[in-house]
Amino acid sequence: MFGAREDEGAAPPAPLTFSDPTYVRELEGLFVPWTAEPAPDPRLLVLEDNVARDVGADAEALRTPAGIAALLGEGVEGTVAQGYAGHQFGAFSPRLGDGRALLLGEVLDRDGRRRDLHLKGSGRTPFARGGDGKAPVGPMLREHVISEAMHALGIPTTRALAVIATGETVYREVPLPGAVLVRVADSHLRVGTFEYVAKTLRDGELLGRLLDYAIARHHPHAADAEISALAFFDAVVAAQAELLARWMLVGFVHGVMNTDNMTISGETIDYGPCAFMERYDPATVFSSIDHGGRYAYGRQPLIAQWNLARLAEALLPLIGADAPEVAAEKATAILDTFPARFGEHWTAGVHAKLGLTAGVGEDEALVDDLLGLLHDEEVDWTLAFRALASTARGDTTAFAGLARDPAATTGWVQRWLACSPNPDVMDAVNPVVIPRNEAVEDALAHATAGDLGPYERLVDAVRRPFATDAAPAYTQPAERDAGDYVTYCGT
Ligand code: AMP
Ligand code: MG
């Protein structure tokens, strides 16, 4: 920083270069101009160099006090709180919006793709209801580490550019250090954004503008369709069907699949009480607020389709205002494709996980029977597939050893071996490292107490999901019953 530089004497590079603010320019009525609260004593906890590079920012410049100030929105013009509604646990909330978040601005990434920069935990906005507008360090770091893991696993997700401790204390029953997350996303258009315009504002003109904007930004081919709203809906259904399959294949449990937490782009967004399933059980729930198990692991595809039905309802006037019944029929026909589209991705993915390049042959029940076996025998989802690869290579005890009753696995393993699995195919898709719950909790507890060491080691580990030399803390389930694990919304 103090060394001679080629550009010495010239003005320092701007830490962030924003593009033209298309959301603000085109979607008047969907935001409130608002500025972030200043942080009394900001300290950079995380800066993702590769994300900075992606969005054309100068990582070194972002590490300076001026860079950190820019990341926190200081002196940034045109920041806004975005409006949206949402179905939360099935009930409609007409006005949610960015209660503690702001759209910092838009950037063009290295590929020329438009991305949002967004702040979370930057203070109360006019959309805030009860909350304080703040966020504790733990949940913001959780969003960073889980989204890094998802990205490393090749799953579409928002990323964290930075996490900045604010120097402020926030209260969540106990005093906690506060933080702001700087998030990068394809956009922050949600199913709930469409619901807000259609159901809350009931503004047909704005709904049309929102559709045009969302099509141009995410699904441009829909613009050429006879009914662009329908083609757009089809594209969102396709993106979500694939996303959900990818979540299910790695055992990801989002935790709060409200319609305001589901994107139009097909990126995973809003990591709250999320976690990776360890022992296989479709009823796995981690969120302390999900009492009925609405958002359990095994229910996620169903819920995604339910959410997409809410998107269809919001789009109906654009699909056919004069003949609502015909419009509903057309939308329903597309909605009904969700299970098959999800199923295609899921089946292809499970077959790859099992090394079955030629499918299951005659043995159509092979996958379902495996799921039953994993459930009955309380087998760790991630370990199971790595162990099966070892078994395919001749280590007969590798998979059996994970079961409560090793003998219970014999019949299924023989059926599977008869399909000639390729263990190299398996190892290429089955992760070794996932952010395991105990390691995450331990790292967040240390980080909250001021020691970032365990957290940084965890992040390094989840960045290399296929590394076979990772420490046991990142590759082995905790001793205790995984059913005891609970994550909190951390608002
Ligand atoms: P989330 O659970 O983070 O998806 O947030 C759901 C809604 O609650 C959004 O409208 C948030 O802006 C709002 N919200 C969550 N936490 C807070 C908070 N601490 N202060 C104000 N609003 C919040
Ligand atoms: Mg949310």
Instruction: Please name the residue whose Cα sits nearest to atom 13 of ligand 1.
Output: 99
The CA 97 to ligand 1 mean position distance, Å, reads: 8
Work out the number of other CB atoms within 10 angstroms of the CB of residue 111: 7
Q: Is the Cβ–Cβ distance between 427 and 354 less than 8 Å?
A: no
Q: Is 15 in the pocket of ligand 1 (CB under 6 A)?
A: no
Atom number in ligand 1 closest to CA 489: 2
| Whether the Cβ atoms of residue 210 and residue 193 lie closer than 8 Å to each other | yes
User: Ligand 1 pocket check: which of 132, 170, 491 to mutate, most ligand atoms within 8 Å of Cβ?
Assistant: 491
Q: Cβ atoms within 10 A of the Cβ of 434, count?
A: 29
Closest CA to 459 of 159, 253, 52: 159
Our answer on whether the CB atom of 353 is closer than 6 Å to any ligand 1 atom is: no
Which residues are known to be catalytic? Answer: 260
The verdict on the CB of residue 100 being under 6 Å from ligand 1 is yes
Q: Is 131 in the pocket of ligand 1 (CB under 6 A)?
A: yes
How far apart CA 85 and CA 96 sit, in angstroms, is 5
What CA–CA distances, in Å, run from 186 to 145, 190, 266? Answer: 19, 11, 9
Structural element, H or E, at residue 88: strand 86-88
- Cβ(491) to ligand 1 under 6 A? yes
pLDDT tens digits for 456-473?
999 999 999 999 999 999
Ligand 1 atom 10, closest CA = 96
Q: Is 37 in the pocket of ligand 1 (CB under 6 A)?
A: no
Tell whether ligand 1 has an atom less than 6 A from the beta carbon of residue 133.
yes
What beta strand segments (E) does 149-197 contain? 159-172, 174-185
Contact 82 CB / ligand 1 (< 6 Å):
no
Q: What separation in Å is there between the alpha carbon of 260 and the centre of ligand 1? A: 10
Q: Counting ligands in written order, which one lies closest to the CA of residue 489?
A: 1
- CA triple 117-2-42, angle to 5 deg: 40
Contacts of 91 (CB under 8 A, 6+ apart): none
Predicted local confidence at residue 285, as pLDDT: 96
User: How deeply is 224 buried, as exposed, middle or buried, from its count of CB atoms within 10 A (0-12, 13-18, 19+)?
Assistant: exposed
Q: From CA 251, how far away is CA 37, in angstroms rounded?
A: 37
Ligand 1 atom closest to residue 270's alpha carbon, by position in its atom list: 4
What is the rounded distance in angstroms from the CA atom of residue 167 to the CA atom of residue 179?
8
How confident is the model over 151-197, as pLDDT tens digits?
A: 999 999 999 999 999 999 999 999 999 999 999 999 999 999 999 99
- Residue with the nearest Cα to atom 17 of ligand 1? 131
Q: How do the domains of the chain map onto residue ranges?
A: 22-185, 190-432+475-491, 437-474
Ligand 1 atom closest to Cα of residue 98: 12
Q: Within 10 Å of residue 410's Cβ, how many Cβ atoms?
A: 12
Predicted confidence at residue 4, as pLDDT, reads: 43
Whether residue 194 contacts residue 305, with contact meaning beta carbons closer than 8 Å, is answered with: no
Maximal C-alpha separation, the chain: 74
Ligand 1 close to Cβ of residue 261 (< 6 A) = yes
- Pocket of ligand 1 contains residue 126 by CB under 6 Å: no
pTM of the model: 0.95
Q: How far is the CA of 308 from the centre of ligand 1 (A)?
A: 22
CA-closest residue to ligand 1 atom 7:
96
Token pair listed for 263: 């994107």
Q: How far is the CA of 276 from the centre of ligand 2 (A)?
A: 19
98 in ligand 1 pocket by Cβ < 6 Å?
yes
Tell me, in angstroms, the distance from the centre of ligand 2 to residue 97's CA. 9
> Residue 413 Cα, ligand 1 centroid: separation in angstroms?
47
Q: Across the 491 residues of the chain, what is the mean pLDDT of every consecutive 10-residue run?
A: 49 84 98 98 98 95 97 97 98 98 97 97 97 98 98 98 98 97 98 98 98 98 98 98 98 98 98 96 94 96 98 98 94 98 98 95 96 98 98 97 98 98 98 97 97 98 97 88 59 56
Q: Which atom of ligand 1 is nearest to the CA of 84?
A: 10
CA 272 / ligand 2 centre spacing (Å): 8
SS (H, E, C) 189-256: CEHHHHHHHHHHHCCHHHHHHHHHHHHHHHCHHHHHCCCHHHHHHHHHHHHHHHHHHHHHHHCEECCC
What is the pLDDT at residue 269?
Answer: 98
Q: How far is the CA of 270 from the centre of ligand 2 (A)?
A: 5
Ligand 1 atom closest to 261 (CA)? 4
In this structure, the number of other CB atoms found within 10 A of the CB of residue 64 comes to 15
